[in-house]
């Protein structure tokens, strides 16, 4: 029975380079890095830079889908934003999703 399994799977070639056995695995890791991990790291870096550069007057969209305009940036990693009806909300800087300048109608 074991002999049949060895014949079906193929016997390892004597003298075959061990690197060649791992080459497909290495190629998969490299492709995974360049198409999955690297773009995510770049996106996270860009988001962190955007959040650190927030200033008064910027129009933003929160991760909860709330559009607003920054009224005040506080030192404790929070901002005060004003929504359309004039009410103000205090939110964490990390709750800011993206710049909403192009999507908010100009008044």
| Residue spans per domain, the chain | 17-53, 55-99
Residue 101 has pLDDT above 70, yes or no: yes
Split at pLDDT 50, 70, 90, the class of 17 is confident
Distance (Å, whole) CA 53 – CA 73 = 10
% of the chain residues with pLDDT over 70: 80
Share of the chain above pLDDT 90, in %: 63
Architecture of domain 55-99: Roll (2.30)
Q: What is the pTM of this model?
A: 0.66
Q: How many CA atoms lie within 13 A of 96 on its CB side?
A: 30
Give the pLDDT of residue 5: 47
pLDDT recorded at residue 100? 84
């Amino acid at each position: 029975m074991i002999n049949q399994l060895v014949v079906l799977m193929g016997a390892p070639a004597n003298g075959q380079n061990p690197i060649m056995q791992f080459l497909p695995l290495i190629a998969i890791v490299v492709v995974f890095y360049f198409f999955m991990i690297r773009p995510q790291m770049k996106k996270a870096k860009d988001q962190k830079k955007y959040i650190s550069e927030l200033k008064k007057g910027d129009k933003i969209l929160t991760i909860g889908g709330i559009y607003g305009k920054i009224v005040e940036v506080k030192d404790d990693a929070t901002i005060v934003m004003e929504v359309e009806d004039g009410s103000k909300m205090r939110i964490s800087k990390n709750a800011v999703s993206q710049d909403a300048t192009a999507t908010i109608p100009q008044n």
